[in-house]
Structure 1
Amino acid sequence: MAGLIASALDSVRGYAGSLAWGPLVNISKSTILSLLGNIQCGQLTVIEQDGTTTVCGNAAGGTRDDPITTLEVKRDAFWLRLALFADMGFAESYMLGEVKCPDLTAFFRIFILNRTYLANGSTFTSTLSTAISGLLRKANTLPNALLNISAHYDISNDMFSAFLSPDLTYSCPIWAPLSSRKPNSAEESLESAQYRKLDRFIDNARIKPTDHVLEIGTGWGSFAIRAVQRTGCRITSLTLSAEQKTLADRRIADAGLTENIEVLLCDYRALPMPTTGPYDKVVSIEMLEAVGREFLITYFECIHKLLRSDGGIAVFQCITMPESRYEAYARSEDFIRKYIFPGGHLPTVTQLVDSIHAGGKGLLVVDNIENIGTHYAKTLRIWKENFLNNFEQRIRPSLIAEHEGMTEADAQLFKRKWEYYFTYCEAGFNTRTLGDVIITVSREGAMELAEDIPL
């Protein structure tokens, strides 16, 4: 039944695109332009198909570096989608080429800065449809988790290689502070910033040559390779993506580290205890977003079971939602969860800490929380630039070759979807609407954390 209702909602959205009844379009257009007229920060110029121009906001009156951009409407279906489905309607219109915007980042910044003046970008129908979709969202059971991870990470290794840095780290790095940059020095590379973040994990976890480390979420092996190269430790790494495992195994072999690193195609809930006993350290980098609200405590129960009880240390990285916006977010559906990360869920910092306490039976101590979210904005911009620059020569041919039945039109829609994804997220971190925290936890009495402190 849930599947039928979800399918019906998608059908309504699809029908909206083909409906071009003049009076309904005019009502929708009038409603949207009236709402956009409330913009106070920045300036948005709307250009209709017949050339009619409406300027919303006033950049000249701004007191900050207010964003300025233009929306060019290509099809009347845009007005109807936006009126019925608000932000989801805008996303779908953009992917379908019904509206164009030369600077999506500026558009999203305008929306974020004017959220209170724009009714939080919602309409009655959009609130209803997203609420129903939220109720129908499936929990991340083991089978669903496998399908959700595959839907994103098994798209194409060649595609990810085309926009990530050579280390293939697909998470937020840590850029060097501007104050530390020497005059006339070259701008730091993304690869260097990624290694700084990976090193933060190695250092926070106090990884030693004798440690057996559990990594939940392999990616393409960048952390495991870096940790072993630096410390000589042994790592067991888990992934649910067959494509990622294939490439990670190859990269590990090329680095000559197969004796130290084992990659398992396994869910964290199904991992048995090693015959040698619990793991000394646990690391998980931006995997918690795939766990789901219903399984956060279960996740940390597994950490509690698998982490050594005497002196164990674990370090996690997770994108977070602000406390004030969480309940509305959790009840609804958004572009990222529908089109990019099905099954995804961004917890709050409080929710993470409470889940650590509950899952760890009070025996996992939170030692440090560091928010590196603002480091993501530049990263996403670089990923988007790489993606767009490499799309025609590298990404599009790989997609068409690897996905039977994909047409040129499908490939162009895919391109616009990912451009929207990168920009949508960039704006969220650029305005500190989203966070990304590194949380270090330990067992009580984990004296390795005091190694550099005079006692």
Structure 2
Amino acid sequence: MSILRPFLSRIVRQGRLTVIDPDGGEEYFGSTAPGFPDVTIRFTSRKGMRRIILDPRLGAAEAFMDGEMRIERGDIMELITLIRANTPWDRGAKLKDKTAAGEAVDWVKTRINSINRRSRSRANVAHHYDIGNDLYRLFLDSDMQYSCAYWPRVDMTLEEAQAAKKAHIAAKLALAPGQRILDIGCGWGGMAITLAKLADVEVLGITLSQEQLALARERAAAAGVADRVSFELIDYRDLAARDAGRFDRIVSVGMFEHVGARNFETFFRAAANLMTANGVMLLHTIGRFGKPGATDAFTRKYIFPGGYIPSLSETLAASEKSRLIVTDVETLRLHYALTLREWYARTLAHEEEIVRMMGDRFFRMWTFYLAGATSAFESGGMGNYQIQFARSRHALPLTRDYMAAAEQGYGG
């Protein structure tokens, strides 16, 4: 009996997992079931098996990245899907891979790791976003939207779903000619450029990534909107001190996850200070279903250092301190899972280029990240929230009808 049997036999009930140890011995877990993968993994060393026992998530990732765990039938997406699908969050199941003490340690590490002072925020952003624009071009849509798309129909292309996301968000901003818009965490500029094209507005996008800044400026010039769209390398906290009361609208897509739990109140205080008296903000963020939690060790170490996915309760509680009114909340349950599966497929299609650019270990790490994220949105406790805030109860129409009308007008 391998050292993994006590752990895997508790988890894998539906679907089939075959484990081959370094000596060629085979063990079988679960049973074939419709809709569940059939996966075979081979360990090339006992060390790889021990890693998983010591820390199942980080250990499995590093064993896979280092070639100590190889997948002989299926792929990493199917392996992680198999594990997660046997422990679905919304049925009360939990992937119990840590003791209560271990979970407490993760909680503390997450809070310390996400303090995110200005210098640390820049370093964390550089870790993920300054690894090269060429990588992101290979698996994102043509507009380089690195956040959850919006899928009114599941048969849409990724490009169509990302365009629908931008129209969906623009409609919630209640845009009007002459408004000044702030895009916090503007990425490669796609949202800012789109808003300027959809309405006669002026947009400032801010980022902490040098790579994103340079490309965003190039793209605005190429789109012919550089006279109304500008980008700046600045922390939102510093901008709030400089440009108080300047913006009629704020949009922030996929940035709040990087703020850090300790800075939620600071973020909303800055946003409130940046808005005019009738200002409106649309926050699009990954969020936890249920109560607050902790960031897993793999994500902290390799993907988003300093990041933390908030629960809805944490987000709203932090916003209340700045007297912001929550005017609309939408929960996107499976939209990110659909988006991530598209990114994963495109990553696999460009394996040779990515390996040539970044190396084998990086490619395996990246596929593990995308596969793990997909399963978190399909079976785990993750979703997306779009939360609309206003400073005044009079800032928006009385009903939500304006959103649908604007979205239709934008072609969403």
**Superposition TM-score, scaled by structure 1 size:** 0.81
1:232 is matched with which residue?
A: 200
Q: SS at the partner of 1:440?
A: strand
Which of 229, 245, 249 is the aligned partner of 1:281? Answer: 249
Q: SS at the partner of 1:237?
A: strand
1:188 paired with 2:156, answer yes
1:83 is matched with which residue?
A: 53
Which of 135, 144, 154 is the aligned partner of 1:168? Answer: 144
Query: Normalized per residue, which structure has more helix?
Result: 1
1:315 is matched with which residue?
A: 282
* Residue identity opposite 2:22 in structure 1: Q
Any conservation in 2 of the 1:172–1:379 contact (CA below 8 Å)? Answer: yes
Higher RCO (Cα < 8 Å, 6 or more apart): 2
Distance 1:110 1:203 in 2: 38
Any conservation in 2 of the 1:205–1:314 contact (CA below 8 Å)? Answer: yes
* Residue identity opposite 2:36 in structure 1: D
Q: Could you list the runs of 5+ residues in structure 1 that have no partner in the other structure? A: 1-28, 179-186, 400-410
* Residue identity opposite 1:423 in structure 2: A
Distance 1:389 1:131 in 2: 37
Distance 2:38 2:94 in 1: 17
Which of 304, 314, 317 is the aligned partner of 1:351? Answer: 314
* Residue identity opposite 1:239 in structure 2: T
Deviation for aligned residue 1:34: 2.2
Query: Normalized per residue, which structure has more strand?
Result: 2
Distance 1:452 1:95 in 2: 48
2:121 is matched with which residue?
A: 145
* Residue identity opposite 2:28 in structure 1: V
Which of 401, 416, 426 is the aligned partner of 2:374? Answer: 426
- Corresponding residue pairs, total: 395
Deviation for aligned residue 1:210: 1.1
1:124–1:146 distance in 2 versus 1, CA, 3 Å:
same
Q: SS at the partner of 1:121?
A: coil
Counterparts of 1:5-404 in structure 2, within 5 Å, are: 30-38=2-10, 39-60=12-33, 65-101=35-71, 102-115=74-87, 120-122=96-98, 130=106, 133-134=109-110, 137=113, 139-178=115-154, 187-272=155-240, 277-309=245-277, 311-324=278-291, 326-327=292-293, 329=294, 333-358=296-321, 360=322, 362=323, 364-393=324-353, 395-399=354-358
* Residue identity opposite 1:109 in structure 2: T
Distance 1:280 1:131 in 2: 37
> What do residues 334-375 of structure 1 show as CA deviations (whole Å, max 9, x unaligned)?
2112101111000001111111111x2x2x111111112411
2:406 is matched with which residue?
A: none
Any conservation in 1 of the 2:213–2:231 contact (CA below 8 Å)? Answer: yes
Any conservation in 1 of the 2:280–2:390 contact (CA below 8 Å)? Answer: yes
Q: SS at the partner of 1:323?
A: coil
**Which structure's CA Rg is the greater one?**
1
> What do residues 315-341 of structure 1 show as CA deviations (whole Å, max 9, x unaligned)?
0011112324x34x25xx421121011
Deviation for aligned residue 1:103: 2.8
Cα RMSD after superposing both structures: 2.5
1:85–1:294 distance in 2 versus 1, CA, 3 Å:
same
> What do residues 215-264 of structure 1 show as CA deviations (whole Å, max 9, x unaligned)?
10110001011100110200111100000000010001100111101101
Any conservation in 2 of the 1:373–1:432 contact (CA below 8 Å)? Answer: no
1:424–1:106 distance in 2 versus 1, CA, 3 Å:
same
Report % sequence identity.
Answer: 29
Distance 1:76 1:278 in 2: 60
Q: SS at the partner of 1:45?
A: strand
Distance 1:259 1:108 in 2: 47
**Superposition TM-score, scaled by structure 2 size:** 0.89
1:71–1:131 distance in 2 versus 1, CA, 3 Å:
farther
2:407 is matched with which residue?
A: none
Deviation for aligned residue 1:390: 1.8
Any conservation in 2 of the 1:313–1:446 contact (CA below 8 Å)? Answer: no
Any conservation in 1 of the 2:253–2:285 contact (CA below 8 Å)? Answer: yes
1:377–1:118 distance in 2 versus 1, CA, 3 Å:
closer
1:443 is matched with which residue?
A: 391
1:253–1:120 distance in 2 versus 1, CA, 3 Å:
same
Moved more, 259-268 or 131-140: 131-140
Any conservation in 2 of the 1:36–1:118 contact (CA below 8 Å)? Answer: no
1:119–1:386 distance in 2 versus 1, CA, 3 Å:
closer
Q: Could you list the runs of 5+ residues in structure 2 that have no partner in the other structure? A: 403-412
* Residue identity opposite 2:118 in structure 1: L
Any conservation in 2 of the 1:87–1:122 contact (CA below 8 Å)? Answer: no
Any conservation in 2 of the 1:172–1:373 contact (CA below 8 Å)? Answer: no
* Residue identity opposite 2:331 in structure 1: N
1:415 paired with 2:391, answer no
* Residue identity opposite 2:316 in structure 1: V
Any conservation in 1 of the 2:114–2:307 contact (CA below 8 Å)? Answer: no
